Amino acid sequence: MEKIIIFIILSLFSFFGIAQQPDPEGTDHYIQVFINTDGEIWLERDLVKIDEIKKQVDKIIRQIPFRPDRKLIFRIFADENLSLGFIQNVENEMLKAYSDNVMRERYLLDSRQMNLDGPGWLQNINFKELKAIHSDGS
């Protein structure tokens, strides 16, 4: 009987030790969009049209395991020569797919100078040199 009790106690300590380990994947999930100078929209690694964004974002979100402690963040990287209205239209299409407790980040880039294009665009971004744009357009 003592061996069973000791086994149960050790099992509980092991369980709590494992359950308290930090999440190696972090706490946030990003869905990233790049809009180049020609207005082409890259959602993650896929080239999409503006009317396909909602469907594609919905598809990505359905693949994310539900975690109440994680935030969903839409990151939009857009060429600095695009109008803010076009960038907001892309963002609005993303929000049609999911808008509950989502954060948004928008950045302006010189995509021609940075040589960004194609499915590997995200690896070429230097996050230290980004210019954030805010809701008021500043």
pLDDT 10s digits, 53-93: 999 999 998 888 877 778 889 999 888 889 989 999 999 99
Q: Distances from the Cα of 14 to the Cαs of 4, 17, 24, 25, in angstroms?
A: 15, 5, 19, 22
Residues 118-136: pLDDT tens digits? Answer: 665 656 566 555 566 555 4
Residue 96's pLDDT is what? Answer: 94
- pTM for the whole thing? 0.68
Q: Which residue has the higher pLDDT, 101 or 98?
A: 98
Residue 29 CB: number of other CB atoms within 10 A?
15
